[in-house]
């Protein structure tokens, strides 16, 4: 990945997002969570919309980053020697396309606090957990009467057979971020 990434991680990720058709960024850093979305040739970041909640995206504090879309994910992480590694997992290049399943994972956030530049600052209950997701507030159906967590993060799990012939999850990737409404009579 070289010094190109270390010197300008946002620019590097924006170029990769455009090259591979990836739309969403989820990054974990020493100092917090950073969400992003591709906006043309640039990457819009939660740290620009809500700098008091979301830290800037810097290579020096970044632990891992997932740049993803419906068809692929680019995962960046540091190895045991603190060197950057990357892998692209693309559905079009996956041999076991039929051997996978999708799982929607609940994300924290049961109400919106603010919206700016296409990011919604969401918080959860009394704990004060907050993050700024790249979704408009009017598209997130919060239920303020009951604790409802409408945000979902899609995960695709890829399966393979182990040495005993059992199916195991071999790897996974993120596929999308969305909000869904509560179904009548359903519990979380």
Verify that 104 and 26 share a domain, yes or no. Answer: no
Burial (0-12, 13-18, 19+ Cβ within 10 Å), 127: exposed
Given a cut of 90, is residue 10 above it in pLDDT? Answer: yes
**For position 186, what pLDDT does the model report?**
58
Query: Could you report the per-residue pLDDT of 43-67, keeping only the tens digit for each?
Result: 999 999 999 999 999 999 999 999 9
Query: Could you report the per-residue pLDDT of 141-152, keeping only the tens digit for each?
Result: 998 777 789 999
**For position 1, what pLDDT does the model report?**
67
Verify that 35 and 110 share a domain, yes or no. Answer: no
Going by pLDDT thresholds of 50, 70 and 90, the confidence category of residue 123 is very high
- Establish if 14 belongs to a structural domain: yes
As for how many domains the chain has, the answer is 2
Verify that 42 and 8 share a domain, yes or no. Answer: yes
- Establish if 42 belongs to a structural domain: yes
* Domain end call among 40, 61, 93: 93
Verify that 89 and 104 share a domain, yes or no. Answer: no
**For position 4, what pLDDT does the model report?**
86
Query: Could you report the per-residue pLDDT of 25-49, keeping only the tens digit for each?
Result: 999 999 999 999 999 999 999 999 9
For residues 55 and 112, give the distance between their C-alpha atoms in angstroms, rounded to a whole number.
Answer: 19
Given a cut of 90, is residue 81 above it in pLDDT? Answer: yes
Strand-pairing partners, residue 39, are 42
Residues near 50 by beta carbon (within 8 Å), at least 6 away in sequence: 114, 116, 119, 121, 132
- Establish if 188 belongs to a structural domain: no
Cα torsion 142, 146, 151, 156: sign: negative
Strand-pairing partners, residue 30, are none
CB count within 10 Å of CB 177 equals 19
Rg (CA), the chain: 18
* Domain end call among 67, 93, 119: 93
Query: Could you report the per-residue pLDDT of 101-120, keeping only the tens digit for each?
Result: 999 999 999 999 999 999 99
For residue 56, give its domain range: 2-93
Enter the tokens of residue 173.
């990737």
Structure-model confidence comparison of residues 134 and 126, the more confident one: 134
- Establish if 185 belongs to a structural domain: no
**For position 145, what pLDDT does the model report?**
76
Verify that 132 and 70 share a domain, yes or no. Answer: no
Verify that 33 and 84 share a domain, yes or no. Answer: yes
Query: Could you report the per-residue pLDDT of 172-186, keeping only the tens digit for each?
Result: 999 999 999 877 655
Enter the tokens of residue 142.
């919060």
- Establish if 32 belongs to a structural domain: yes
Verify that 78 and 133 share a domain, yes or no. Answer: no
**For position 188, what pLDDT does the model report?**
54
- Establish if 58 belongs to a structural domain: yes
Given a cut of 60, is residue 95 above it in pLDDT? Answer: no
Verify that 16 and 62 share a domain, yes or no. Answer: yes
* Domain end call among 93, 111, 127: 93
């Amino acid at each position: 990945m070289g010094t190109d990434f270390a010197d300008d991680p946002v620019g590097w990720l924006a170029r990769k997002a455009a090259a591979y058709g990836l739309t969403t960024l989820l990054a974990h850093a020493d100092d917090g969570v950073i969400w992003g979305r591709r906006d043309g040739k640039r990457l819009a970041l939660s740290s620009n919309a809500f700098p008091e909640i979301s830290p800037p995206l810097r290579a020096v504090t970044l632990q891992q980053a997932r740049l993803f879309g419906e068809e692929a994910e680019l995962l960046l992480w540091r190895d045991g020697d603190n060197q950057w590694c990357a892998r692209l997992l693309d559905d079009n290049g996956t041999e076991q396309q039929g051997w996978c399943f999708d799982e929607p994972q609940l994300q924290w956030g049961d109400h919106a606090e603010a919206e700016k530049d296409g990011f919604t600052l969401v918080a959860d209950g009394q704990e004060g957990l907050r993050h700024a997701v790249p979704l408009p507030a009017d598209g997130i159906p919060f239920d303020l009467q009951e604790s409802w967590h409408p945000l979902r993060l899609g995960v695709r799990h890829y399966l393979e057979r182990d040495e005993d012939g059992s199916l195991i999850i071999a790897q996974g990737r993120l596929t999308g971020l969305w909000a869904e409404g509560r179904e009548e009579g359903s519990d979380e």
